[in-house]
A and B are shown apart, each in its own frame.
Chain A
Amino acid sequence: MIPNYTHQGNQSFKDKFFSFDFTLVFAILFLGIISIFAMYSTEQGNFGYYTKSHLYRFCIFFMTFLIISFFSIKFWFNSAYLYYVIVLILLLTVYYFGVTASGSKRWINLFFINLQPSELMKVSLILFLAKYYYKIPSDNVTSIRHIFVPFFALIIPFLLVVSQPDLGTATLILAGGITAIWMAGLRMKFFMYSFILFICLAPLGISYLKPYQKSRILTFLNPERDPLGAGYQIIQSKIAVGSGGIFGKGYLQGSQSYLDYLPEKHTDFIFTLFAEEFGLIGSLGLLSIYVLIIYRIIRIGKIVQNNFARLYCFSFATAFFIYVAVNMMMVLGLLPIVGAPLPIMSYGGSAMLSMMLGLGIVMSCKVHDQERL
């Protein structure tokens, strides 16, 4: 079945390879290499566990990304619902049989890897919505009948992830989904109504928040509230970024991370470490790579010949942008600490797998841009 998809149409393997967006490929590769060096720095210049596994994962998932690119866009179109259902089942599995670590149940033990389905949901939801809206005519997008399916497709995984509890990932899934729905053409008024509803329900929602989540929000509003407790992360993160200056403290010289002042430096705060060691120049450089990646994805979305691919590329680009922006704003003290990894840079297998899958599908759109569904 798979060979059918890879060899459909007139394109040979060689044709497909040369129609790759190499700028995007190299941007991703370059980002991956940077992330490995950053990981090496978090371990104080030891080629330790984190660096090793990050390196292996990147190699494997980068290969996965390339392989996925050869799969026809039709394959992704056809398997979009299936993929969504599989991930949803995995999420339910987590709900009932998940592995608990540091107070939350997010993972499934697959023996060789601890999989975090909520990360995979980020991409599968966008894929699902892209297919759904491709199928219905644009006039029907706003009809009530056609709102129910996207709404439940969005809200079920969201609630499952919130219950883990993992408000950060849930919010990112929601944000990605809403972007896709909006992009498909849903009227502005629905978003207005939802927003008003959200505001009204917010006080109720806050009462359901866990104490640590409440304290995070309060801490965001005033980090000095509890400098050694909840405010510690954000204060130390700002110190690290700020002390980097223009040129940074130099590679492996970041005292904040080296001396363990920086929390979660492998995952959410990897950008902080990077900004401390490479300064403003480095931070802007890294930001440019992300901007380049997002720009290339949008560009692919513009040249593709079907609305499924277009909607997917645009939505994924926006979601990708949200992940990057939320992470950076979080570590720079512009948003509360919610636990959002920086795509590709942060340590974490499922997140990287999810991003590589998403990018692979984007590349598949590019390679098969002339195909119609």
Chain B
Amino acid sequence: MIRFSDSFQNKAAIISRRMFLLSTLKIAVFIGIISRLFYLQISENIKYRSLSDKNRLREWKIAPQRGIIEDYFGNKMAKNKKVFELHMIPEDVSNLENLFFRLARIINFNENDKKNILRKLKKRKPWEPIIISDNLSWRDFSRLNLYLHEIQGIKPVVALAREYAEGGSSSHIIGYVSEISVKDLKSNKLLRDINIPGLKTGKSGLEKIFNNSMIGKPGLQRFEVNAYGKRIKELKFINGVAGKNFKTTLDQEVQEFTSKAMEEKSGSVCVMDIYTGDIVAMVSNPTFDPNKFVHGISSKDWNALLEHKRKPLINKSVSGLYPPGSTIKPIVALSALENDVISSKLVVRCTGSIELYGQKYHCWKKKGHGYMTLRNAIKQSCDTYFYEVSRRLGIDRLSVTAKQFGLGKKVFDFLGEEKPGVVPNTKWKLKNIGKNWYLGETLISGIGQGYFQSTPLQLCLMMAQLANGGYEIKPRIIDDKYALQPIINAWRKEFSIKNNNLEMPNKDLKKLYKNKENIKFVLEALYGATNEPQGTSYRSRLAGEEYMYAGKTGTSQVRSISAEQRELEIKNRDLPYEQRDHALFTAFAPYKKPRYAISVIIEHGGAGSSGAAPIAKKVIKKVLDRHKERKKYQLDLFSEA
């Protein structure tokens, strides 16, 4: 019994001792667990909380509505229309191959589309939708909805897409939108930030220039999602802000009319308000259909546009460079008068050609014009007379006046593709060509040939600044009421000075002349050119005081004419297209109360009088008819004029 008791005590002691050891171990383990809890829940709390939110929250951006572009009367030149899109949610798709197979039987879906989607799939998060098609036909859309319950992971969506006015008469100005490229992403931070699948970006024209303000702010939907990606509840909804709308100064109706009037021809027509500088029309032909770009242009169509001989993608109004030809004569005359080089009474005898410095210079009229005064020389566009004028004037003085009136520099500062053109002078030649100026070059510059290069818009501006009495204007293409007000005020002041025969300077307008009479003289001579027999554009005149206009033709050579060819009297239409002369015409209308200036350039259109003036006549008539409408929107800005 004693032994048993001993054993009992002994055993109890062993058990208790070992229990004590274990208890120490237990405490150590529990301390370990507690410190782990502290570590996870306090030290690393922020990290795990954000990971938990990342699990729990998913955000979908909602594409904002792109700002629309209107013409002067509120007609929509670029608007948004409803389209049917098909989205795929990658994480909901159980079998991609199966899905593609089924899709191919329901909608237009080929191997190429498949490759595109597989490429995108790698870059996107599994819950971000991938756009399979952004423009389903109604037929496909309804078929798809029929089969929808059988196909997992796709979602038909009604979305907005760009739509441009038909005909493409304004494509070059408005531009177009298309899918965002890698290049766009690199150059535009906003596009990187927005990052919405299917968002389009402006690629050219106003769509590109005002892209960032037109895009708008995207909306946001934040959902709580479960582990299987199912949306449990909406936590936040931020409405997107639609992009800014833009109103242009263009008249969609005139644009379309002009585009039609130029059908089959290649060239440009610009119409400008001579006081406000509003561009009423600016058409470049041939044009393209911007709607084709919205959902991705086919490579066949794209190549056709690129390889087209008449370059439909180029906006000839601002990027096309042409020798101004005889349309520069009013400026040459003005420059000579202003510099007191000649008097308007100077008489020069035209015999059809003139020999100077051992070189023969021809007038366009082989037989010669006979004795010419300045007015007649402008009216009949006598080259010999202007050889003499420019000889006396010199290129440097001519270039100063030409530049003042808007040649040789960009008209707008925001159009990327615009070209400045060339107004040559001695310095320019030395700098750009590295040679001294020849006097013979002065002569051909006097008739707008040689180094002279101008855009149609520059010629229009030149004519506008002559027609408004010789004042500088800033052309506008975006209608901005606030910017317009000071311009109106300045002109009102000018008109009241004129109407009351006051002699006071108007500091609000920058005048481009020294003597007002010189401007008046040139404008009057232009009247003769259009409205008097023997005037170069007499055949294209418009009757009636409200339509009567005054303009200057121009025919610019694209090749040098050899003596042999001159003898043969080869007609323009017999030459191959590329060698025919460009036909130019600049005018202002109406003559009595000038309001609009126009420039017309028809590439390889032959003589200005037959190739360009008839088109100008049609457009002028249209513009003047539309003036009644336009007036309503201007609250008759210039009743005084």
Q: Which residues of A contact B (CB under 8 A)?
A: 137-139, 179, 182-185, 236, 238-246, 255-256, 259-261, 275, 279-280, 283-284, 287, 291, 294, 298, 301-302, 307, 310-311, 314, 318, 321, 325, 328-329, 332-334
Q: Which 10 A-B pairs have the closest CB atoms?
A: A242-B48, A243-B52, A259-B226, A260-B227, A185-B14, A138-B11, A242-B40, A280-B41, A243-B49, A243-B48
Q: How far is the CA of A259 from the CA of B266 in the complex (A)?
A: 65
- Cβ contact within 8 Å between B26 and A294: yes
User: In this assembly, does B515 line the interface, its C-beta being within 8 Å of a C-beta of chain A?
Assistant: no
Looking at B29, B224, B225, the one whose CB has the most chain A CB atoms below 10 A away is B29
Q: How far is the CA of A245 from the CA of B48 in the complex (A)?
A: 9
| Closest CB in chain A relative to B331 CB, distance in Å | 75
Q: Which residues of B contact A (CB under 8 A)?
A: 7-8, 10-12, 14-16, 18-19, 22-23, 26, 29-30, 32-34, 36-38, 40-42, 44-45, 47-49, 51-53, 55-56, 224-228, 232
Q: How far is the CA of A58 from the CA of B261 in the complex (A)?
A: 93
User: Chain A interface secondary structure, helix, strand, loop or mixed?
Assistant: helix
Q: How far is the CA of A302 from the CA of B20 in the complex (A)?
A: 11
Q: How far is the CA of A310 from the CA of B11 in the complex (A)?
A: 10
- Cβ contact within 8 Å between B37 and A280: yes
| Closest CB in chain B relative to A321 CB, distance in Å | 5
| Closest CB in chain B relative to A324 CB, distance in Å | 9
| Closest CB in chain A relative to B22 CB, distance in Å | 5
- Cβ contact within 8 Å between B29 and A325: yes
| Closest CB in chain B relative to A307 CB, distance in Å | 5
Q: How far is the CA of A138 from the CA of B17 in the complex (A)?
A: 14
Q: How far is the CA of A311 from the CA of B37 in the complex (A)?
A: 32
Report which of B18, B55, B224 forms a contact with A183, defined as CB distance below 8 A.
B18
15 extra interface residue pairs, beta carbon distance < 8 Å, beyond A255-B224, A280-B41, A321-B26: A185-B18, A241-B37, A241-B41, A242-B45, A242-B51, A243-B49, A246-B42, A255-B52, A255-B55, A261-B56, A287-B33, A298-B19, A314-B19, A325-B29, A329-B32
B49 contacts which chain A residues (CB < 8 A)? 242-243, 245
Closest residue of chain B to A179, judged by CB? Answer: B22
A243 contacts which chain B residues (CB < 8 A)? 45, 48-49, 51-53
| Closest CB in chain A relative to B261 CB, distance in Å | 66
Q: How far is the CA of A245 from the CA of B53 in the complex (A)?
A: 14
Q: List 16 A-B contacts (CB under 8 A).
A: A138-B7, A138-B14, A182-B18, A239-B48, A239-B51, A242-B44, A243-B53, A259-B56, A260-B226, A261-B56, A279-B41, A310-B15, A311-B15, A314-B19, A314-B22, A333-B36
- Cβ contact within 8 Å between A329 and B48: no
A245 contacts which chain B residues (CB < 8 A)? 41-42, 45, 49
- Cβ contact within 8 Å between B232 and A259: yes
Q: How far is the CA of A22 from the CA of B290 in the complex (A)?
A: 86
| Closest CB in chain B relative to A54 CB, distance in Å | 23
A244 contacts which chain B residues (CB < 8 A)? 41, 45
Q: How far is the CA of A301 from the CA of B15 in the complex (A)?
A: 10
| Closest CB in chain B relative to A266 CB, distance in Å | 15
- Cβ contact within 8 Å between A242 and B47: yes
A329 contacts which chain B residues (CB < 8 A)? 29, 32-33, 36
| Closest CB in chain B relative to A279 CB, distance in Å | 6
- Cβ contact within 8 Å between B227 and A259: yes
B22 contacts which chain A residues (CB < 8 A)? 179, 183, 314, 318
